[in-house]
């Protein structure tokens, strides 16, 4: 009897254990039914700072129309409503992978974007991608009218202050997108300020995710009274963007909470000499006070008096020694080093003319090199030839990567060795100053010849023998048509050209052509002229007079 009882107890324990195991097994099966239809996890949607999300649908092979796909997406996200904006066929052009979409639309809800990313891949939708990129706005006249309405509502006429902080989050843009980070939108905003608010003095642009300020070019003429600008909590990474405000008489500037380099305050003070307030702090620009050494009695007299003289402790005053004037400052050992400098310049220009400047020029520059570029003006305006270089004109590049990116954006060049001149103005043990001038051709075209003048400061450390460029000044100008021909001829060639022109009555341009075709052999050029003259193959406009010379048969 006891054995039967023990057996019953064991059976009951086994049944309870099976129930527990079955309950554990059933639980994940119920979870799986919740996410049934998804073969694997999809990545989460990044949070957009603007609150807008781009939805790209790839259904070109499904056989469904746009309306049918949208209807299936409504069913997929139910009971949530599918509210979409800016629907258009095709993808967006700002990202390469977004160009091949069947159609694109935008939503202004993160929950809806996440739901589309989670359930939008279910059949029959072939592919769906959701990201945090904002819409690309077409700024037309109707859009400009809305911009003007919002801008005027944010203007304080009493203080002459325009507050555009968090402009994209204004209540007026609930069902539309507007961000000053986009170039077209910012440019239209500045046009409205110029037309409607010419007396503007303060401009607040905080929290707008701005990274480029190129639309503000010429702001000193469009808004001449603007003296206070706030750009806090944006995406400005370099101080180069602030150069568009250099001609303004700025007295207050706020640029906190931007990913700017450390210790940028001193550079900002150099860019804006009239600045009185920086990041909310008052600036004290004190002039250097000359130090004077006083005796003990004089010090007691100054302390007991009400004088405003500032006392400075001075232990020793060394007079400033100016270098003596010389014809040249070359060191005595400079002559043997000229060959090495010429070799350095030739190799540098060869690397510059190569196909990969980013890699070939890297070893010639210091990591913290300083480079500036100036373009020659035609009258008071820059010509069309400056298009590849104008973006970097009158800017100080303080990084090797920035300099290499500038050179990589230039067109392919071919430096002409015959026009190269080299001056070695300073030679020291660890420092050289070299200036070169000459011409180069863009994209191998003689019609696009440019004149350059470059000054290098080459330095090296104590433990290496390789010089590298630490500072460089570049000046570029256009070579005129009248300068091209004489620049390529030496005095001997010019003399031969004049003799052939006097004997054959040819114009100088045609005489040069005969000599060039015969490799500047005067006798061969004269023989070629007589041969073509007998065959009557020389046009009449090739001669100086109205009649051709007599044929010497």
If you average pLDDT over residues 291-315, what whole number do you get? Answer: 40
CA dist 548 and 435 (Å) reads 49
Query: Which residue range forms the structural domain that includes residue 468?
Result: 335-478
pLDDT at 380 over 70: no
- CATH number of the domain encompassing residue 78: 3.30.70
Same structural domain, 211 and 246: yes
pLDDT at 326: 56
Strands 228-230 and 202-204, how do they pair?
A: parallel
Same structural domain, 425 and 360: yes
Same structural domain, 355 and 407: yes
pLDDT at 285 over 60: no
pLDDT at 245 over 50: yes
CA dist 72 and 323 (Å) reads 84
Same structural domain, 180 and 70: no
CA geometry: angle 286, 288, 294, nearest 5 deg: 125
Q: Is residue 235 part of a domain?
A: yes
Tally of structural domains, the chain: 4
Q: Is residue 216 part of a domain?
A: yes
- CATH number of the domain encompassing residue 192: 3.80.10.10
Same structural domain, 117 and 147: no
If you average pLDDT over residues 186-191, what whole number do you get? Answer: 90
CA dist 275 and 253 (Å) reads 8
3-state SS record for 328-377: CECCCCCHHHHHHHHHHHHHHHHHHCCCCHHHHCHHHEEEEEEEEEEECC
Same structural domain, 93 and 157: no
Last residue of a domain, one of 221, 247, 282: 282
DSSP state of 80: S
Same structural domain, 363 and 397: yes
Q: What is the pLDDT of residues 431-455, one digit of tens each?
A: 888 999 999 998 878 778 889 999 9
pLDDT at 58: 84
CA 442 to chain centre: 21
If you average pLDDT over residues 193-221, what whole number do you get? Answer: 90
pLDDT at 448: 84
Same structural domain, 341 and 435: yes
Is residue 469 within 8 A of residue 364, CB to CB? The reply is: yes
- Range ranked top by mean pLDDT from 2-6, 76-80, 290-294, 459-463: 76-80
- Label residue 130 by pLDDT band (50, 70, 90): confident
Same structural domain, 120 and 189: no
Taking alpha carbons only, the member of 451, 441, 447, 479 closest to residue 374 is 451
Strands 252-254 and 228-230, how do they pair?
A: parallel
Least-confidence region, from 212-226, 345-359, 420-434, 495-509: 420-434
Largest CA distance in the chain: 149
Q: To the nearest whole percent, how much of the chain has pLDDT over 70?
A: 76
pLDDT at 13: 56
Q: Is residue 300 part of a domain?
A: no
Same structural domain, 273 and 148: yes
Q: Is residue 341 part of a domain?
A: yes
Which has the higher per-residue pLDDT, 416 or 60? 416
Is residue 490 within 8 A of residue 386, CB to CB? The reply is: no
Q: Is residue 28 part of a domain?
A: no
Same structural domain, 345 and 424: yes
- CATH number of the domain encompassing residue 339: 3.10.450.50
- Label residue 290 by pLDDT band (50, 70, 90): very low
Mean pLDDT, the chain, rounded, equals 77
Last residue of a domain, one of 83, 99, 131: 131
If you average pLDDT over residues 530-551, what whole number do you get? Answer: 75
- Label residue 75 by pLDDT band (50, 70, 90): confident
Taking alpha carbons only, the member of 200, 192, 194, 196 closest to residue 159 is 200
Least-confidence region, from 4-18, 352-366, 504-518, 524-538: 4-18
Same structural domain, 86 and 211: no
pLDDT at 265 over 80: yes
Q: Is residue 25 part of a domain?
A: no
Last residue of a domain, one of 282, 298, 316: 282
Q: What is the pLDDT of residues 2-50, one digit of tens each?
A: 455 555 555 565 455 455 444 433 333 333 434 444 444 455 788 887 8
Q: Is residue 511 part of a domain?
A: yes
- CATH number of the domain encompassing residue 532: 1.10.8.10
pLDDT at 157 over 80: yes
Q: Is residue 203 part of a domain?
A: yes
């Amino acid at each position: 009897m006891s054995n039967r009882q023990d057996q019953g107890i064991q059976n009951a324990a086994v049944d309870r254990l099976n129930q527990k195991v079955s309950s554990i097994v059933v639980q994940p099966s119920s979870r799986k039914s919740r996410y049934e239809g998804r073969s694997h996890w999809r990545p989460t949607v990044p949070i957009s700072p603007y609150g807008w999300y781009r939805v790209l649908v790839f259904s070109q092979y499904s056989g469904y129309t746009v309306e049918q796909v949208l209807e299936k997406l409504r069913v997929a996200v139910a009971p949530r409503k599918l509210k979409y904006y800016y629907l258009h066929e095709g993808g967006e052009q700002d990202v390469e992978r977004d160009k091949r979409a069947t159609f694109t639309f935008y939503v202004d809800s993160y929950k809806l974007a996440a739901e589309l990313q989670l359930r939008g891949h279910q059949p029959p939708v072939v592919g769906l991608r959701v990201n945090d990129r904002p819409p690309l706005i077409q700024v037309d006249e109707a859009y400009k009218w809305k911009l003007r309405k919002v801008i005027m509502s944010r203007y304080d006429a009493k203080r002459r202050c325009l507050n555009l902080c968090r402009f994209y989050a204004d209540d007026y843009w609930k069902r539309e997108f507007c961000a000053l980070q986009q170039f077209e939108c910012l440019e239209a905003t500045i046009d409205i300020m110029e037309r409607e608010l010419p007396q503007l003095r303060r401009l607040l642009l905080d929290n707008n995710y701005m990274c480029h300020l190129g639309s503000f070019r010429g702001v000193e003429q469009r808004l001449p009274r603007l003296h206070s600008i706030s750009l806090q909590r944006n995406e400005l990474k370099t101080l180069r963007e602030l150069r568009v405000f250099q001609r303004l008489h700025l007295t207050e500037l706020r640029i906190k909470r931007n990913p700017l380099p450390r210790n940028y305050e001193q550079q900002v003070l150099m860019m804006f000499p009239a600045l009185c307030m920086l990041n909310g702090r008052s600036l004290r620009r004190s002039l250097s006070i000359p130090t004077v050494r006083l005796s003990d009695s004089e010090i007691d007299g100054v302390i007991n008096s009400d004088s405003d003289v500032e006392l400075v402790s001075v232990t020793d005053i060394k007079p400033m020694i100016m270098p003596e004037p010389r014809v040249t400052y070359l060191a005595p050992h400079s002559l043997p080093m000229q060959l090495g400098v010429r070799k350095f310049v030739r190799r540098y220009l060869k690397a510059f003319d190569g196909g990969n400047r980013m890699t070939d020029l890297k070893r010639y520059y210091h990591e913290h090199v300083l480079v500036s570029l100036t373009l020659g003006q035609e009258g008071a305006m820059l010509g069309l030839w400056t298009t590849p270089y104008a973006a970097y004109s009158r800017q100080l590049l303080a990084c090797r990567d920035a300099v290499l990116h500038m050179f990589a954006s230039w067109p392919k060049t071919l430096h002409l060795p015959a026009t190269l001149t080299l001056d070695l103005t300073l030679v020291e043990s660890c420092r050289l100053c070299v200036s070169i001038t000459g011409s180069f051709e863009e994209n191998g075209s003689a019609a696009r010849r440019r004149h350059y003048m470059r000054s290098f400061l080459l330095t090296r450390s104590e433990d290496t023998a390789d010089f590298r460029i630490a500072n460089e000044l570049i000046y570029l100008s256009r070579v005129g048509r009248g300068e091209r021909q004489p620049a390529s001829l030496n005095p001997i060639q010019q003399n031969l050209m004049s003799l052939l022109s006097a004997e054959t009555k040819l114009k100088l341009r045609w005489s040069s052509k005969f000599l060039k075709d015969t490799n500047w052999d005067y006798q061969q050029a004269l023989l070629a002229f007589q041969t073509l003259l007998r065959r009557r193959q020389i046009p009449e406009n090739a001669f100086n007079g109205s009649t051709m010379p007599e044929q010497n048969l």
